[in-house]
Each structure stands twice: as C-alpha cells, then as structure tokens.
Structure 1
Amino acid sequence: MKELSTQDLVLCGLFAALMAIGANLSPFLMIGSVPITLQLLFAILAGAVLGSRKGTMAMLVYVFVGLIGAPVFAQFKGGPVQLLSPTFGFVLSFVAVAYVSGKLMGDSQIIKQKHYFTAGFLSILCNYIIGTNWMYLALILWTEAPKGFSYTMAWSWMLAYLPLDLAVTAFSLFLVPKLKHALRRTHNLKTDM
C-alpha cells in the first residue's frame, strides 16, 4: 500500500472541509423549496481529482467527523444520532460517489470525455440509489412516514432535485480537467525546486 504524502493528507482534509461547506449552503441558496447543496459536486471532484482511494478517504473523513459530533452535516448537524436521519443515506452515498468518479476519472492517466459523462451519470445514480433507499427504509422503519407514503413516492421526490444534480454534475465535469492540470502543475513546481 502506497504511503500518503503531506500533500495527499492536506487535499483529503480540504475535500472533507469542502463537503462541510457544501452541506450548509442550503439556508442561503434555494430554488423554490429545493435546497441547493454542493456536496455532490465536491464528492465527484474528490474522486476525480484525488483518485478513488484518496477521494474515498476524504469522504470517509467527512462522515467520521460528522458522526463524532462536529456540525458538518446539513443544517449544521452532527453526532451518531444522524444515522437515524432519513437523509443520512445521501451522506453515505458520497463515499460511493467519490469511489466511482475516482475509478472512472481519477485513477486513469488517459482520460476520455466519455469517461467523464459515464462517471457523472453513475455518480448521480449511486447518490440516488443509496440515499433514496435509506430514506425509504428510515421513513418506514424508524420515523413516521407521511400518510400514503410508498417506494414510488420516495423516488418521485427525487425528481425535484434531478435538474439541479445534473447541472452540478455537468459543472464538475467542466472543473475536473482544470483542477487536475493545476495539481499536476503545482506538483511539478515542487519537484523542480
């Protein structure tokens, strides 16, 4: 197993911090009743820029810091009680999102544009499958589901977020090559000194 450099540790911490910031933009940014968070953006970027291993580590750090009580989850919440939240599955999904985007965009030296689009689509799919299923089970098993709540209804709620998630994912795909280039350039400058 390859050791992590100081730069790797700093970048993992940076992406964990960006997740905390991205989670708490919703009080300030809303489209109608749909809160805007940038967590999907930062999870995709973590994997794509850092690679699957380090991107996944960054998301695990974010989840761990929140579960031990730091108020880094949405609405400045934290602590182990968040495991019971219907939306905690979306938090967990960011680990899978970083891994998938890292495998398709971050680990490969040869990046093709089709990999970006596949990674973006699969990232949203991971986010929705894990998050929506957790939400459904949480509402059915340990919180009170709205009257007439069904599995189909849980998925239909996600339609309100889909346009925003598609736009955020498209934006991430625009940023990935620029961020990777900037990191390579920074790394080359360090090795030249």
Structure 2
Amino acid sequence: MKKKLRTIDLTLAGMFVALMCVGANITTFVPFMVIGGVPITLQTFVAILSGAILGSRLGAITMAVYMFVGLAGAPVFAKFGGGMSSLISPTFGFILSYILTAYITGKIIEAKKSLPIYITAALIGMVINYVIGTNWMYFAYKLWAAAPDGFTYKMAWLWMVVPLPKDIVLAICAGIMANRLEHKVFARSQFRKIQRAS
C-alpha cells in the first residue's frame, strides 16, 4: 500500500515548486540567456536537488505538480509561460523530463548516500534532462513548430552545448549541496524519521 503524503512532505514539495518557478524565470532579468529558443535556467539544478533531497517518489511528484500547475495556466514556466499551449512548445520536453530527472536522481541516491553517488546521480539526472528535452525539441521543430532554416538533429544538440558547462557545474554543485544537507540537516530531521517509519 502506498504511503500518504504528510504535512511535511507537502510543505517541502511546495518549497521546491516555488524554487522551480524562480529558477525558470532567471531569463526575465537576463533575456540574452536564450539560445536557439531554449532559455538558460536553473530548473535542471532544482529538479536534481528535489530528487536528491526529497527522494525519488516525492521529488517526482513535486516536479509533476510544477508541470500541472503550469499547464493549468499559472505563469510558472520560463519567461512566465503557462497554459495548455505549452504542450506543443519545442521546450516542453525539458519540463516533462524534470519528473524523470528527479525520480532517477533520487532512486540512485536511495541505494547509497555517499558523496560520489550524489554527484553521479546528479550528472545522470542532467543527462536524462538533456536527452528527453533535446529530442522533444528536435521532433517538435520537425513535426509541428516552425523550424529555423537548415535545422538538423546536429544543430539541436549544438544549441545545447552553450548551457552544458553551466549545467554540469550546477549538477555537481547540486550533488555536493544535497550530500551536505543530508548529513548536516536531514539525517536527524523529522522528515527522515517520517520517511523511515513509512
């Protein structure tokens, strides 16, 4: 039988949804951080953190809530986007990927909570984000969106070279941060006690 979400779960999930909203709209203040129609945001960083800190199940639920809040019309996606029209956006694959990114990151860490595992899980989560997001973007441009002149699969991946160094560094930082928070804060917290008891 699946455990119910408790007050502390909902509180932490809400905090991470809010962090995703903030991370999505960094480009509002620095609009030049948009490459090939893909905003350079902190969403991958937050998605990785959510899985690493909240765990696979709650992390994935949190990212799903973020996605559905945006689809319901709240302006929580990049550049304050939202609504059902986001489903056909070339960048929606990145939003969809955050659910699996959080889940896989959390699942890997649940097996062993060592620093190398945290960093490895974070980097794997980043790869999942890139693979799903970039492939969605490519097929979106080819099938229903207006593709730029000469657009190819290689070009789609070349666009991702620009944010890649930032996301690698942030993924490693997320792994280190989550590891330190686990051992300094969460290990003895009520949140972990509830998780272990469930």
TM normalised by structure 2 equals 0.88
Q: Could you tell me how far apart the structure 1 residues matched to 2:30 and 2:66 are? A: 22
- The alignment's C-alpha RMSD in Å is 2.0
Distance 1:166 1:30, change over 3 A: farther
Q: Could you tell me how far apart the structure 2 residues matched to 1:186 and 1:112 are? A: 18
Q: Could you tell me how far apart the structure 1 residues matched to 2:173 and 2:28 are? A: 21
> What amino acid sits opposite 1:134 in the alignment?
W
Distance 1:66 1:148, change over 3 A: same
Gaps of 5+ in 1: none
Q: Deviations over 1:21-79 (max 9, x none)?
A: 11011122467655541111110010010100000000000000000000000000100
2:155 is aligned with 1:153: yes
Farther-moved stretch of structure 1 (24-33 vs 46-55): 24-33
What residue in structure 1 maps to residue 97 of structure 2? 93
Gaps of 5+ in 2: none
Q: Could you tell me how far apart the structure 2 residues matched to 1:69 and 1:37 are? A: 20
Distance 1:31 1:55, change over 3 A: same
- Whether the aligned pair in 1 keeps the contact of 2:33 and 2:40 (CA below 8 Å) is no
Q: Deviations over 1:108-163 (max 9, x none)?
A: 3x312331232122111101110001100110111111111111111111111110
What residue in structure 2 maps to residue 54 of structure 1? 58
- Whether the aligned pair in 2 keeps the contact of 1:8 and 1:54 (CA below 8 Å) is yes
TM normalised by structure 1 equals 0.90
2:16 is aligned with 1:15: yes
- Whether the aligned pair in 2 keeps the contact of 1:55 and 1:99 (CA below 8 Å) is yes
Q: What does residue range 30-41 of structure 1 map to in structure 2 within 5 Å?
A: 35-41=39-45
122, 126, 129: which one aligns with 2:128:
126
Q: Percent identical across equivalent pairs?
A: 48
> What amino acid sits opposite 1:72 in the alignment?
V
> What amino acid sits opposite 1:170 in the alignment?
I
- Whether the aligned pair in 1 keeps the contact of 2:118 and 2:179 (CA below 8 Å) is no
Q: CA deviation at 1:17?
A: 1.2
183, 187, 191: which one aligns with 2:186:
183
Q: Size of the alignment, in residue pairs?
A: 188
> What amino acid sits opposite 1:122 in the alignment?
I
What residue in structure 1 maps to residue 28 of structure 2? 27
> What amino acid sits opposite 2:155 in the alignment?
M
> What amino acid sits opposite 2:140 in the alignment?
A
What residue in structure 1 maps to residue 49 of structure 2? 45
